[in-house]
Structure formats: structure tokens, C-alpha cells
Structure 1
Amino acid sequence: MNEIGSYEQWNEIIEKEPQLLLFVKTDHCSVCEGLYPQVKALDDQFPFPFYQVNAARVPEIAGQLSLFTAPVVLLYHYGKEMARFARFVQMDQLTRRMQELVERGKEDA
């Protein structure tokens, strides 16, 4: 998973990537630490890039994306948020939405 270090870097990524997953965590978050390996394990199964950001280190991203808790998993399709999962993420629901994103990408091709 690629780490985002600034809000400017995020803006560049969201403009160039047709599809992506963003994992948002924060410091001292046990739920974040537990969920991260589960989400990271899906990276090999999907054709779009996975990114992570620590909202405590890049607070602008939390404000700009209206994030009020952590962890948050966001799925994007051509710069538009397609799905948001917050706090306690059901992995089967996340996987299903990721597969929908793959199918949507095939339709666009």
C-alpha cells in the first residue's frame, strides 16, 4: 500500500488514477491496526492501486473528505467516491463493492 504524505499528493493521485482504494487511519487506533492487514491482503486480488494515509499526520485530508472517525476505507472511480466504509468494516461488503468497481472499470474500457 502506498502512503500519502500530503493533501497535495492526494490531489495528484486522485486526478491521475481511474480507480483506487484509500485506507485512512490515525495514531493509537487499535481498530485501524486490526483492519489494515485485512485490507492490505486484498491488494493482490484487485487491479487498482491501494493507498493509505494517516489523518493525524495529514489533517487536511480528513477535513476535505469529511472524515470524522477512523479507520475509513474509500473506493474511488474517476475521482468520484463510490463507497465509504467507516470504523467497523464488514470485509465481505468491502470485497463485494471492490468487485463492483472492477466491473465498472471494465464497462468503461
Structure 2
Amino acid sequence: MEEIGSFKQWLDISASEPQLLLFVKTDHCSVCEGLYPQVASLQEQYPIPFYKVNAAQVPEMAGQLALFTAPVVLLFHKEKETARFARFVQIEQLKYRLDELVEWGDEHA
């Protein structure tokens, strides 16, 4: 999972990637640390780029994306947020939404 280090980098990535997953964590977050490996392991199953950002290090991301807790998993299609999972993420629901995203990409390829 590639790490985003600035809001400008995020803008460049979101404009250039037709679909993506964004994992948002923060410092001293045990739930974030526990969820990250589960989400990261999905990366090999999906043809969608996965990114991560630490909202404590890039606070502008939290403000611009209206992130009030961590962890948050966001899915994007054509620069629009299509799904948001916050705090306690159910992996099966995330997989279902990732499958939808792949389908949308295949339909518009």
C-alpha cells in the first residue's frame, strides 16, 4: 500500500486513478493497527490501487474528506467517494463493495 504524504499528492493521485481504496489511520490507534493488515491483504485480490494516509501527519486530508474518526476506509470511482467504512470495518462488506467497484470499472473500460 503506497503512503500519501501530502494533500497535493492526494489530489494528483485521485485525479489520475479511475478507482482506488484509501485507508486512513492516525497515531496511537490500536484499531487502525489491527485493521490495516486485513485491508492490506485484500490488495492482491483486486486490480484497484490501495493507498494509506496518516491523518495526524496530513491533517488537511481529514478536513477535506470530513474524517472524524479512525480508521476509515474509503472507496473512490472517478474521483467520487462510493463507500465509507469507519472505525469497525466489516471485511465482508468491504469485499462486497470492492467487487462492485471492479464491476463498474469493467463496464466502463
TM-score (norm 1): 0.99
Matched, 1:10 2:10: yes
User: Equivalents in 2 of 1:17, 1:90: separation in Å?
Assistant: 25
Q: Which runs of 5+ in 2 are unaligned?
A: none
User: Equivalents in 1 of 2:15, 2:41: separation in Å?
Assistant: 25
Q: Which residue of 1 aligns with 2:42?
A: 42
CA RMSD of aligned residues (A): 0.3
Q: Which residue of 2 aligns with 1:98?
A: 98
Structure 1's consecutive aligned runs of 4 or more residues displaced over 2 angstroms after TM superposition are none
Q: Which residue of 1 aligns with 2:51?
A: 51
Query: Offset at 1:26?
Result: 0.1
Q: Percent identity?
A: 72
Three-state SS of the structure 2 residue aligned to 1:22 is strand
Partner letter of residue 102 of structure 2?
Answer: V
User: Equivalents in 2 of 1:2, 1:78: separation in Å?
Assistant: 19
User: Equivalents in 1 of 2:97, 2:60: separation in Å?
Assistant: 26
Partner letter of residue 16 of structure 1?
Answer: S
Q: Which runs of 5+ in 1 are unaligned?
A: none
Q: Which residue of 2 aligns with 1:68?
A: 68
Q: Deviations over 1:14-56 (max 9, x none)?
A: 0000000000000000000000000000000000100000000
